[in-house]
Structure 1
Amino acid sequence: MSRWSPQDAQDEPNGLILFDGLCVFCSRWVRFVIDHDRGGRFSFAPIQSEHGRTLAARFGIDPEAPQTNAVIWNGRIHFKSDAALTVLGQLPSTRLLALLKGAPRLIRDPIYDLIARNRYRIFGRTETCMVPSPEIRARFFV
């Protein structure tokens, strides 16, 4: 089993997205999910938060230099392109993109890794995590 293969996470809340809260691209991803998640099924934990650091350590993500976002879905935690495509597959406007999970991870993850390695240089980095508005604050684990 690959380090980034889905793992058991039955004891974690379904729909929890673990993300790099200092990454501008990652924060935009969270905003995109919030805007398109009509059912409010997803919640969020920045890796830099107490809860996020604990989850990251448990699942092998370095909180100082996260290599992946993750999502817990149906009792499993998914990483890299699996995580992104799992989330996109649950949003009405992007549901068809889940079909890309049919492509081997051997092809998908190097593309994900290229973006992840260059995300700060291309999109920027903030010194603090995004602050959720009062309307969505309940969806954030900190």
Structure 2
Amino acid sequence: MTATKKIILFDGVCNLCNNAVQFIIKRDTTDRYRFAALQSEIGQKMIAERHIDTAQLDSIILIEPGVAYYTQSTAALKIGRSFGGFWSVLAVFEWIPEKIRNSIYDYIAKNRYSWYGKKDACMIPTPELKSKFL
């Protein structure tokens, strides 16, 4: 099943990240995404399989199985654009050089706990949402 779904790895203790996951779920009308916390066993396995150094990369990770994976601003833009409609306008941000986009992304990522808070443990999905999480 996950071979046909795109996978979003996120910081499971970050309030901003958890809110972003809820935002994505509400707009994922075609059921294209599955989610896993970076801290989870499956998240760690997927990171290791792709040789991603999370000490150097504090980011959301979008995995398209059998295709590629994306991080930081590129992952966020690809997810946002997938909603279609008005969200397609996010394509204009791809004209901004990735280094500049990622510096803004990194600034937000660096401050996310102080700005939005942090949970003591990863979120536990409700029974209705459990099928969306790996």
- TM-score interval, smaller chain: 0.7 to 0.9
> Which 4+ stretches in 1 moved above 4 angstroms?
none
Q: Which residue of 2 aligns with 1:30?
A: 21
Report SS of the residue matched to 2:24.
helix
Letter of the 1:81 partner, please give it: S
Structure 2: which 5+ residue stretches go unaligned?
A: none
Out of 50, 58, 67, the residue aligned to residue 67 of structure 1 is: 58
Letter of the 2:109 partner, please give it: A
Q: Which residue of 1 aligns with 2:78?
A: 86
Report SS of the residue matched to 2:12.
coil
Structure 1: which 5+ residue stretches go unaligned?
A: 1-10
Deviation at residue 126 of structure 1 after TM alignment: 0.3
User: Does residue 120 of structure 1 match 2:113?
Assistant: yes
Deviation at residue 13 of structure 1 after TM alignment: 5.2
TM-score by length of 1: 0.83
Matches within 5 A, 1:97-116: 97-116=90-109
Identity of aligned residues (%): 34
Aligned CA RMSD, in angstroms, stands at 2.0
Per-residue CA distance 1:58-107 (angstroms, 9 max, x = gap): 33242x78611110237110000000001001013522213311211011
Deviation at residue 12 of structure 1 after TM alignment: 5.6
